[in-house]
Structure 1
Amino acid sequence: MDSPNVELLSALATLLQNGKYSDLTIVCGMKRYSVHRALVCSRSEFFDGACRNSFKESETGVIDLTEDDAEAVEHMVHYFYHLDYLNKPLSRRSSQRSSRPTSPTTSRLPTRRRTKKLNLLMVEDPLLATMAAASAARDPMTPPDEQPNHYLESIDSAKFPDTPMEQEFEEDPFETAQAEPESNVEKPYLVTHAKVYAIAEKYGISGLKSLARKKFAHQIELHFSSSELPEACQEAYETTVDSDRGLRDVIIQTFRAHPELSLRKDVELAVRETPSLAFELFRMASGLPVFS
C-alpha cells in the first residue's frame, strides 16, 4: 500500500501524463503541455496573473513560452507535478508495480547467463599435442625423459563429456566475462540547473528556484573541474540581476575554494566574455566585498 505522499505524487504524475481534466495548455515550440490551472497558477505568480486577468491567455487557455529555453520549460512543467526535475517519472501504475511484493516464484527465477569470453590460455589443442608428440618421437637427439609431454598430460587429465550437453552449464575453459558496470559518475547538468533557476525567477516559482540552486550548488561542488563550468558561469551571470545572489555566491565561493580554476583556458575565456563575473572575481582577489 502506498504512503499518502506517494499516492498524491503518483496521482499528480498521472494527470500530467494523460492530460485528464486539463484546462490550460503551455506551448513551447513544437511541444504542448496539457496542464491544470489549479496546480500551475497556485505555484507561479506569472501564470496566476495571466489566467486571472483579462489577457488573451485567460480567454484562449493557451500560454506560449516559445521564446524560453525548451529544456527549462520542460523541467518547469515537470516540477509542477513531481516536485522535482531530472528524476525518474512516477505514475500511479509504476508506483503500484514498485510496491507490489515479490512472489516466491519470481525470486526463484534463474538469472540471465553472463556473456562468455574465450580464455586462450586454458584451451588445450589435441592436434597440437599430437604433432608435438610425433615431432619428439622423430628427433633422436631428444632423450625420452625430456620429451615435451605437457600437451599429452593435459589431454590425459582433461575431462571430456560423454555427450555434448553434459557440461553445458558447468565451468569450462571459457572464462566468464564480467560486464563493465555502468558509470556511477553523475552528469553535472550545471548549465541545465542554471537555466531552470533563471526560468523559475522569471515566472515567480520560488520552490523551483530554491531547488535549482540546491542542485546547482551540489553539482558544482562535485564537478568544479567539469567542462560545463565556464558555460554555467556565463549562463548564471547573464540570466540573473546583480542583486540575485542565489547562483553567483555559489560560483564565487567555488573560485575562492579552487584558485587553480583561473589557470584554465576555457575559464579564462568565459571570464573575459562575462564582465560582471570578471568584476566580482577581481573584487574577490583584491580582498574586497564581492557585492555591496
Structure 2
Amino acid sequence: MDTNEGIHALFTSLKRYLASGQFADLTIRVADEEFKVHKVVVCGQSEFFSRMFSSDWKENVNNEVKLGEVDPSAVEAMIHFMYGIDYDSSGSGRGRVSPVFFNTQVYALAEEYEVQKLKQLAKEKFATSVRACWDMDDFPPVIVEVYNTTPSADRGLRDVIVNTCVEHIEPLLLKEAFLDVLESCNHFAADIARQLALKPGKPSNYRCSQCGYA
C-alpha cells in the first residue's frame, strides 16, 4: 500500500467512526444538537481544544463541550473538515443559506477554535462566492457581518471584500444598500477609500481642441 492509499484508508475509517459514533469520547453540544467526536481527531487540528483537554477544565472531566450561540451547520462543517470531509457552502439540511454568508460563519468559527487550515479553506470558498454574488442583495449585509465578526488585524475576508468592491465600485455605488453600509461601517469606508487611492486612474479620453493632444 502506497502513502496515498494509506491516507485514503485512514480518512475512510475516520468518516465511518464519525457517522457511527463508535469509540467517540467527546460530545460537542450546540443549541439542541450534539455531535459525537473523537478527541484525538479534534485536538489534533484545533489548538483551542488541545489546550482545553491538556488542562483541568471541567470539560476535560465531563468529556462534553457546550458551544455558545453558533450555527449548528457551521459547527458541523468544522467537524466534517476535521474528519477529512469537505463542507457544503450552502449549509446542511437544517436550512439552506447564502454561501457567502455561510463561509463567513465558518471562517469566524475556525478563528475562534484555532483551526487554521479550515480558516484558509473558508477564505477560499468565501472569495469564490463573493466573485459570484457581489451584485446580489445579500452582499451588503455580508460586508457588515465580516466587519463585525473579524478584528481589524485579520485581513483575510476583509481584503476579499475590499478588493471586490473596488473592482466593481461604479455599479455598487448605484445601490442604496451599499451606500448605507459605507455610511454605517466606518472601518469599511476607510478601507475602500485607502484602496481607491492606491488604484491607478483610468486613462483619460479628453483631447485638447486646440493642439489635438490627449
Give the TM bin, normalised by the shorter chain.
Answer: 0.7 to 0.9
**Closer, same or farther: CA 255–85 of 1 in aligned 2, 3 Å:** same
- For 1:39, the equivalent position in structure 2 comes to 41
Pairwise CA distance, 1:75: 1.3
Percent identity for Structure 1 against Structure 2: 32
- For 2:126, the equivalent position in structure 1 comes to 216
Q: How much is the aligned-residue C-alpha RMSD, in angstroms?
A: 2.0
- For 2:173, the equivalent position in structure 1 comes to 262
104, 116, 132: which one aligns with 1:194: 104
Pairwise CA distance, 1:230: 1.2
| 1:231 maps onto 2:102 in alignment | no
Taking the aligned partners of 1:188 and 1:68, their CA distance within structure 2 comes to 16
- For 2:204, the equivalent position in structure 1 comes to none
| Unmatched runs of 5 consecutive residues or more in structure 2 | 90-96, 200-214
Taking the aligned partners of 1:57 and 1:251, their CA distance within structure 2 comes to 37
269, 273, 277: which one aligns with 2:184: 273
Alignment of 1:55-74 (within 5 A): 55-74=57-76
- For 1:54, the equivalent position in structure 2 comes to 56
Helix, strand or coil at the partner of 2:154:
coil
Taking the aligned partners of 1:237 and 1:243, their CA distance within structure 2 comes to 11
- For 2:13, the equivalent position in structure 1 comes to 11
- For 2:157, the equivalent position in structure 1 comes to 247
Which amino acid counterpart does residue 263 of structure 1 have in structure 2?
Answer: L
- For 1:109, the equivalent position in structure 2 comes to none
Runs (4+) of structure 1 exceeding 6 A deviation are: none
Instruction: Report how many residues are paired.
Output: 188
Higher gyration radius (CA) = 1
Taking the aligned partners of 1:278 and 1:70, their CA distance within structure 2 comes to 32
Which amino acid counterpart does residue 35 of structure 1 have in structure 2?
Answer: V
Which amino acid counterpart does residue 183 of structure 2 have in structure 1?
Answer: R
Which amino acid counterpart does residue 22 of structure 1 have in structure 2?
Answer: A
Between the two structures, name the one with larger relative contact order (CA 8 Å, sep ≥ 6).
1
| Unmatched runs of 5 consecutive residues or more in structure 1 | 88-186
